[in-house]
Amino acid sequence: MSDCAVRTDPNLIMRHVEHLAVTIGERLAGSAGEAQAADYIQAEMERIGLQNIRRREFDCSWFEVRRAKMQARFGNMWEPVVMDACAHTPCTNGVLEAELVYVENASDMILDRLDLKGKVALVHGSYGPSSHILKRLNEKEVAAVIWVDVRYTPDWNLRVGLPFTFLPLLKFPAASVPHPVEWDLVRRGADRVRLELDCVVETRPSQNVSGELPGSSDTGGVIITGHHDSVSGTAGAEDNAAGVGVALALAELFAGRQLEKPMRFASFGTEEQLSQGAFAFVADPENRARDIDMVLNTDGQGCWTGVNEVYLTGSESLHEYMGEMMRKCGWSGTIRDEPDGFSDHFPFIIEDVPAAWFCRRNCAGGRWFHHSHFDNIEALSPLVLAACADFVGELALDICTKTALPFDRAFPKCTREAVRKVADGWLKL
């Protein structure tokens, strides 16, 4: 699959994936499954002989859906509707019956001219990369909102987490329907809905686990990361037992090597609520996150078909370096230079730490099975995943065995501004 000198063992990576995604299974943030995953990762880091192993807890918002039902009225007939409760939704306290209004993408122009007080808004899309739509819908005093995940068109439900920063803004009951159900509701003119949502939300502990292989110097080097939580209702094999498997396999492969700079490894909790674990890691001065030369984050990699993508944030010479390494190793991927908030490199790039996020796309919206029950171990090609691990390993070894960094570490002004813009959208309420 590549000409990398680094060769990871696909079976070893898949053994980790199997433990996380099959033996444990669903690993929703704050759940027993997530804690069991952290136990396993810590035990593996100890077995491998990593140093400075840290397991740190932080508070996250756990939730459980006890009941989620919806009916829609077509003419004078009520019909059940395929739907799902959104993460952390407030309850409807019994059955909520109200008028259904299609508000397209909930743009200001559309919302300005609609009276939505006490009504259920059907939104083509989701809250999007800022708190603006949530705030506007609160102002309009909607009774509830039904989102449509428009990235994919299948008729199954997608589970999506709510960014931890948006939790205080979710003041209305929220459900989601698949794309074809939205089509049916609008085309056949559903005018009222009955919605019943019963959800429990609690503050519970989540965990980050990290360790390192020391270098001659104790500053700089890389951190190889993944996340062990999943959304609810999935085994989260590709998202992201695979990334944790890559990190642990590389730790084992490189254990005992002579390194100039430390090679660090971390598995974060609560990624599915906008990288809350990675934010906690970066905020903890014990971790000296700003001191790291580069984050190598694998999340959403390893599926059978598609194209590798590397979201790369840093200097022009970092981009050149990545291109050169790809050519040298014969591992291909599309390098994307727009900053993105959807994985655990995000809190690092806000602090000007260069980062590469390794993922793989097989449809315009991402991966067709994303956040569904199809994200199980069968979604993964062991060889595709191992080829990515080999390339991540090449980069890590190249950076950590040299005394001088092979690229300029400072962010150009335009990159810093672009990162700030993304960060403001997700973090500023």
* Residues forming the site for Zn ion (CB under 5 A): 239-240, 299
Would you say 184 or 239 has its CB closer to Zn ion?
A: 239
Distance (Å, whole) CA 298 – CA 228: 12
Of 221 and 277, nearer to Zn ion (C-beta) is 277
Q: Give CA–CA dist 214/287, Å, rounded.
A: 14
In the complex with Zn ion, which residue's Cβ is closer, 34 or 299? 299
Q: Determine phi and psi for 140, rounding to 5 degrees.
A: -75, -5
Torsion of CA 109, 115, 120, 125, to 10 degrees: 0
Q: Are 30 and 58 in contact (CB under 8 A)?
A: no
- Nearest to Zn ion of 92, 230 (CB atom): 230
As a whole number of angstroms, the distance between CA 337 and CA 316 comes to 10
Rounded Cα distance between 248 and 237, Å, is 15
What does the alpha-carbon distance between residue 10 and residue 384 come to, in Å, rounded to a whole number? 9
Angstrom distance (rounded) from CA 198 to CA 201: 10
- Min dist CB 204 to Zn ion, Å, is 19
Taking the least distance from each CB to Zn ion, the nearer of 194 and 367 is 367
Q: What residue type is 38 in one-letter code?
A: A
Q: Is 400 exposed, middle or buried (0-12, 13-18, 19+ CB in 10 A)?
A: buried
Rounded to a whole number of angstroms, the minimum distance from the CB of residue 371 to Zn ion is: 9
CB of 400 to Zn ion, least distance (A): 25
- Choose among 152, 128, 129: nearest CA to 367: 152
In the complex, minimum distance from the CB of residue 229 to Zn ion, in angstroms, rounded to a whole number: 8
The least CB distance from residue 359 to Zn ion, in Å, is: 9
Q: How far apart are CB 259 and Zn ion at their closest, in Å? A: 28
| C-beta of 239 vs 394, nearer to Zn ion | 239
Cα distance between residue 215 and residue 260, in whole Å = 5
Instruction: Using the minimum distance from each CB to Zn ion, give the nearer residue, 357 or 391.
Output: 357
Contact 4, 394 (CB under 8 A): yes
Least distance between Zn ion and beta carbon 81 (Å): 28
Handedness of CA 164, 166, 168, 172 (dihedral sign): negative
Joined tokens for residue 174: 């929220």
Q: Is 70 helix (H, G, I), strand (E, B) or coil?
A: strand
State both tokens at 305: 């078909």
Give the H or E element holding residue 100. Answer: strand 96-102
- The rounded distance, in Å, linking the Cα atoms of 220 and 394 is 17
Shortest reach from residue 136's CB to Zn ion, in Å: 28
Residue 299 or 309: the one with the smaller Cβ distance to Zn ion is 299
127 vs 357 by CB, closer to Zn ion: 357
Q: How far apart are CA 180 and CA 190, in angstroms?
A: 14
Coil, strand or helix: which one is 77? strand
Give the nearer residue to Zn ion in terms of CB position, either 92 or 240.
240
Enumerate the H helices of 224-306 as residue ranges. Answer: 242-254, 276-283
> Least distance (Å) from Zn ion to the CB of residue 306?
16
Helix (H) or strand (E) run with residue 385 in it: helix 382-400
How far apart are CB 170 and Zn ion at their closest, in Å?
21
* Cβ proximity to Zn ion, 231 vs 399, nearer residue: 231
Q: How far is the CB of 257 from Zn ion (least distance, A)?
A: 29
Provide the strand spans (E) within 5-95.
51-74, 77-80, 84-85
